[in-house]
Amino acid sequence: MNDNDARVLVTGGTGFIAQHCILALLSRGYRVRTTVRSLAREAEVREHLKGGGAEPGDRLSFVTADLSADDGWAEAIAGCVYVMHGASPTPTGHQTSEDDWIRPAVDGNLRVLRAARDAGVRRVVLTSAFGAICAGHGPMTRPFNETDWSDLTKTNVWPYQKSKTLSERAAWDFVRREGAGLQLSAINPVAVLGPVLGADYSHSIRLIKSLLDGQLGNPRINCGFVDVRDVADLHVRVMTNEAAKGERFLAVAGESMWLADVARVLKERMGPVARKVSTRTLPNWVVRLGALKDPALKGSVPLLGLRLNATSEKATRLLGWTPRPREEAIVAAAESLIRFGLLRDA
């Protein structure tokens, strides 16, 4: 069998990164199966992919599987040579403990890895996060790289970052102890921007939407960015390249940026549509005060003034990966939000 005829399972087919991974795989001739929690969403996913230029027909199939239960995973993975696993049962609603974040993430990874091992899958590509690398550190004198892990002994680590760190560590531990030859590679993207395919998009895109919708100012937060199309391309490279076996790869385009600089890119590149965008940097005390009333701001406080620069030198050196400039990712996200009518009315 030609490798490009192989079937690939992409978990969580309704997800932003997952759908771009599906597009990347289809464009290279792979057959794709994807999991959804309800087959009622198949039409929505196909419509999103059509907007991304793909009408795969029977080269794409859907199966029902939920990361919180074993049912369906053996059937989902059967016959697949590779698995791209990025789905995560992120909790919503009223979480009462960190375990509401951590346990589902850890168990979900292990559930997929067990099924992949038992099905004889060649390699699993795990979509982890920069949050498994950067949290709990003070100011760095060098860019973060793949040897870094978040320090969970610190009190200022968010539950999300803990869940990503512990679930990735659990995956590596499982493959080492019980993998029976199963290969694992991990990708750790920074904030993922680029074109949305519909109304269901990532948390990072909400940053661009908030700016265009006219948020009052920008916390002094520094962040790395990368285009989702380049993240998907990296997934395919990591999936098939022998040099990627057993390795982690940061996905980041260039140096990190302050949020006020992101606002300036929108102002300079988007014209009248960016008229509401504020390039003002909010004083730290304003953000701290706001965090007392708004839980969504609480996680930002430990990041105030902290430079979170990272390097993707490893992916470039080993895999020939060359992401587009971060400014292109910012503009592409903004243009797609406008195209789908997802901004607040003027």
Q: What angle do CA 321, 322, 326 make, to 5 degrees?
A: 130
- Token output for 316: 């470039």
DSSP E strands in the chain: the ranges are: 7-10, 31-36, 60-64, 82-85, 123-127, 183-189, 191-193, 222-223, 225-227, 248-251, 257-258
User: Could you write out the DSSP letters of every residue in 222-275?
Assistant: EE-EEEHHHHHHHHHHHHH-GGGTT-EEEE--SS-EEHHHHHHHHHHHHGGGGT
| Cα distances (angstroms) measured from residue 100 to each of 105, 184, 267, 295 | 9, 26, 39, 17
237 with 321: CB under 8 angstroms? yes
Alpha carbon distance 48, 42 (integer Å): 10
Contact criterion met (CB below 8 Å) for 230 and 324: yes
The DSSP 8-state label assigned to residue 175 in this structure reads H
3-state DSSP percent of the chain in helix, strand and coil, to 5:
45, 15, 40
Catalytically annotated residues = 164
